[in-house]
Amino acid sequence: MPQCQNCGYKWKARQTLKAHIDYSQGTNCPDCQEEQYVSRFTKMLQGFILLGYIIITFLAWKVFELPTIPFFAIAVSTIVIGIFILIATTKLANKAESVW
């Protein structure tokens, strides 16, 4: 779980997801009210998780030729696993950082 770079407050999962939804604008820390941004590392990780999701679902669909129900089960479970990984590895920054 991420911690505020200003006061060290450990964010909860819901607050972390909210920060990811509007990561370009920043989110106020619930404890000290300082604006925090999703770090560059986390934005890049988010891109890799999305790429992994696309590859896994494509393989499940084309290579393994899974029927509809197992295919959707794999698609949903990779989304859930990706969200948990993203929440667990999120880092915060005091200022907005560009991915590039």
pLDDT value at residue 32? 94
pLDDT digits (tens, 9 = 90+) for 25-47: 889 999 999 999 999 989 898 88
Average pLDDT score over the chain: 87
Q: Which residue has the tokens 């990780």?
A: 45
Considering the entire predicted model, what is its pTM?
0.76
Q: Which of 29, 41, 46 is nearest to 85 (CA)?
A: 46
pLDDT over threshold 90, residue 60: no
